[in-house]
Chains A and B, each alone.
Chain A
C-alpha cells in the first residue's frame, strides 16, 4: 500500500480539462517537492512536472501542477488522445527516507 493516494482512474473527452489528485501527509507532500510522471503503455515514465509546479523543457503548458498542504494536483487542459496514460505523483518522504510514489491514475481520453 502506497503512502500516497491517487484515484485509480479518470476519464474525459478530448478537449476537456481534468485534474488528478495526490493525497499524502506532512512527511511527504507536506514538506517536500512533488513530481509528476506520465507513463504511456509499455514505456518508461516521463517527467511532466517537478518541484510542485514546474514544467521541464518540451512539456506543453497544458500540463500544470499545484500543491496545498498535504495534497498535490496535476491538471491537464485541452485533453488529447495522446495524453492517455498512467500518471504518478512522487515526492520524497522524510519519514521513510525514500522517494515514494502514488499508486497511479489511469487517464482515459474517451
Chain B
C-alpha cells in the first residue's frame, strides 16, 4: 500500500525559503509515476504547484515557476519542494500526491498534508 508523508518546518519567516519533503513508502519512486505538490491556503481552494517524473523531469505552475524547485531523491525514496522568497500568501497546507497511472491530470494518492505558516 502506497503512502505519502509530508514533513518540514511548520513556521517560516518572510523572505526565507520553505523546504518540504515527501517520503514515499510502499513503492519505489525510481520505478515510475509522476509526483506532484499542491497547496491549500486556510479556508480556500487547491492550487497546483508542480510535478516531477521519477527521472527528474519537472513541470511547474507558471504562476510559481520563478520561486519553485521540485526534486526527487531516489536513494531516500522521497520528493522535495523548495519555495524561495516566501510571503504570508504562501501560508497553506502543502500536499504531495502521486499522479494516477490511468489519467494525465488526476492524482489518486495523497499525503495527509503539512501546515506551513509564513510569519515573523
Residues of A within 8 A of B (CB): 2, 32-33, 35, 37, 43-47, 50-51, 54, 56, 88, 90-92, 96-104
Task: A46-B110, A51-B103, A98-B48 are known; give 18 further A-B pairs, CB within 8 A.
Answer: A2-B45, A33-B104, A33-B105, A35-B105, A35-B106, A44-B95, A44-B97, A45-B95, A45-B107, A56-B100, A91-B105, A92-B105, A96-B63, A98-B61, A98-B63, A103-B45, A104-B45, A104-B46
Residues of B within 8 A of A (CB): 38, 45-48, 61-63, 95, 97, 100, 102-108, 110-113
Considering the complex, give the chain A residue whose CB is closest to the CB of B111: A44
Q: In the assembled complex, how far is the CB of residue B54 from the closest CB belonging to chain A, in whole angstroms?
A: 19
Q: Interface of chain A, helix or strand or loop or mixed?
A: loop
Evaluate whether A47 and B62 lie within 8 angstroms (CB atoms) in the complex, with A101-B46, A103-B45 already known: no
Q: In the assembled complex, how far is the CB of residue B3 from the closest CB belonging to chain A, in whole angstroms?
A: 11
